[in-house]
Amino acid sequence: MASSFHAGQAPSGEVPQPVRNGAGATDPGPRNIERDRQNPHLLLPPVTDHGSVPNLKFSFSDTHNRVHEGGWAREVTQRELPVATTLAGVTMRLTRGGVRELHWHKASEWAYMLYGRARITAVDQEGRNFVDDVSVGDLWFFPAGIPHSIQGLEEDGAEFLLVFDDGDFSENETFSIADWFAHAPRDVLAKNFGVSEADLAGIPSSERYIFQGTVPGPLEADRVVSPKGEVPSAFSYRLLAQSPIRTPGGGVRIADATNFPITTTACALVEIEPGGLRELHWHTTTDEWQYYIEGKGRMTVFANSGRARTFDYQAGDVGYVPFAMGHYIENTGEGPLRFLELFKHSRFADISLNQWMALTPPQLVRDHLHLPERVVARLRQEKWPVVR
């Protein structure tokens, strides 16, 4: 099915205007035309939009970037997107050898590799350790309090998405090893490690956060043998090695505690073909946090009591759907649309509007919606795909 043209989306080169069928009026400015091009359904909402729904979109391009020798990081938290109370996100870039300092935090860390390769390390509370190399499409998950590190590999390092299970969490407030050393008395450090104070003369004066380190050698050379052994449940998962659930409009891969036991953050990597639709549905566990990887899409969120609002998304945007609100995601671009759905819950769960109607007594559905019998019968013949 070809992608459709929506009201408010001006053809390339034309200026979009908030005018439809005699309603509205042109906007002569001042205005940010590029912003209006990116958000045609905010400029000219569908007639079905109604009432007050909070902002459900924020772009990483609008965030402060923390730049260091060795890489950079920027974040979208509840500060940037107030409705996002359950999860916060960071995109981080590391050069070849660039290190995200040894650290830990109060929130759990879920991650998806977007570019390149990286080496991750961790030690758990039982003294068991973990080291692995991760590449595009791989996940990792570190429970709250678990100390860990990340280092870029290959010629061009790595970029990845980090998601934390607290909407108010900031990556700028982690517990860092160098920061702790800098704020512990030297005589205490010397006593703790059984060395002289002179041996500690070169320790940093503050946290290092991201810095340029020595490029590590082969993975096997970095494996440290622990008397307690390795962690029993891997902190990493190869999501792209999973066979997707394929439907006519695209496909989906799901990772939650059923196949990635350590995680308490469930995810779905959704791919929608041009003109395809992530069908109308809602989630039964918690809010949904989205990250758009590729393409363009639109989402209308139904918030009950006649309230609905439509948003447009593209690569680098964060989307959010509060708990139980109905929604869809439609590919409005010319190429594939790929995005992540994330949940502060160990299991992925949703209910399809089609499936609900198909499994409800037909006459009851017809009485509610005044649908022809053939339409209700067609629903019972479908297999309720995730993507149409």
Q: Pick from 358, 364, 360: which is nearest to 377 by CA?
A: 358
Distance CA 113, CA 12 (A): 33
Q: Categorize the per-residue pLDDT at 8 as very low, low, confident or very high, splitting at 50, 70 and 90.
A: very low
Q: What is the pLDDT of residue 1?
A: 26
Would you say residue 130 has pLDDT above 60?
yes
Distance CA 240, CA 196 (A): 49
Helix (H, G, I), strand (E, B) or coil at 277: strand
Residue whose pair of structure tokens reads 């309720």 in the numeric block: 384
| Average pLDDT estimate for 162-191 | 97
Q: Which amino acid does the sequence have at 124?
A: D
Q: Tens digit of pLDDT for each residue in 287-338?
A: 999 999 999 999 999 999 999 999 999 999 999 999 999 999 999 999 999 9
Residue 203 is classified by DSSP as: -
Q: Categorize the per-residue pLDDT at 385 as very low, low, confident or very high, splitting at 50, 70 and 90.
A: low
Q: Pick from 202, 248, 238, 210: which is nearest to 382 by CA?
A: 248
Contact 10, 43 (CB under 8 A): no
- Residue 384 token pair: 């309720």
- 273, 341, 373, 382: which is the annotated catalytic residue? 341
| Same fold flag, 59-237 and 239-303+312-381 | yes
**At the fourth CATH level, which superfamily is domain 59-237?**
Jelly Rolls (2.60.120.10)
Q: What is the pLDDT of residue 296?
A: 98
Whether residue 341 lies in the annotated active site? yes
Q: Is 183 buried (19+), middle (13-18) or exposed (0-12) by CB count in 10 A?
A: exposed
Q: Tens digit of pLDDT for each residue in 245-288?
A: 999 899 999 999 999 999 999 999 999 999 999 999 999 999 99
Q: What is the pLDDT of residue 378?
A: 87
Contact 76, 63 (CB under 8 A): yes
What is the percentage of the chain residues whose pLDDT exceeds 90?
A: 90
Q: What is the pLDDT of residue 388?
A: 65
**Roughly what angle, to the nearest 10 degrees, separates helices 362-369 and 373-381?**
130
- Residue 206 token pair: 């503050």
Contact 90, 161 (CB under 8 A): yes
Contact 153, 216 (CB under 8 A): yes
In the chain, domain spans: 1-44, 59-237, 239-303+312-381
Average pLDDT of the chain? Answer: 94
N- to C-terminal Cα distance for the chain?
10
Distance CA 319, CA 314 (A): 10
Across-strand partners of 138? 238
Give the residue with greater pLDDT, 42 vs 230.
42
Distance CA 107, CA 66 (A): 20
The class that CATH gives domain 239-303+312-381 is mainly beta
Would you say residue 19 has pLDDT above 50?
yes
Give the phi and the psi of residue 295 in degrees, each rounded to 5: 90, -170
Strands (E), 4-137: 19-20, 23-24, 57-59, 65-68, 71-76, 88-94, 98-104, 109-123, 129-135
Across-strand partners of 171? none
Q: b or e along 323-351 (b: 16 or more beta carbons within 10 Å of the residue's beta carbon)?
A: eebbbbbbbbbeeebbbbbbbbbbebebe
Across-strand partners of 110? 141, 163
Would you say residue 383 has pLDDT above 70?
no
What is the percentage of the chain residues whose pLDDT exceeds 70?
A: 95
Residue 243 C-beta-side C-alpha neighbours within 13 Å: 2
Q: What is the pLDDT of residue 218?
A: 95
